[in-house]
Amino acid sequence: MTTRDLKLSRNTFGTLMFTAANSDRFEGVVPVRTFLIGTPMTASR
């Protein structure tokens, strides 16, 4: 597994900002809830 330097923060106006590992910044990011598509079966039956 690799580690990436990603950052979520808010600017002075409260807008969510995403900063990528290469220092690119994106303002107005909208968080969404996601669900895993393929997970291993871990529950015992």
Distance, CA of 33 to chain centre: 10
Q: How far is residue 8 from each of residues 3, 5, 22, 41, 43, measured CA to CA in Å?
A: 15, 10, 14, 31, 33
Q: Based on C-alpha coordinates, what's the Rg of the chain?
A: 16
The segments of the chain whose pLDDT lies below 70 read 1-3, 39-45
- What's the CA dihedral at 33, 36, 41, 45 to 10 degrees? 30
Q: Please tell me the predicted confidence (pLDDT) of residue 45.
A: 54
Q: Please tell me the predicted confidence (pLDDT) of residue 39.
A: 61
Residue 33's identity, in one-letter code, is R
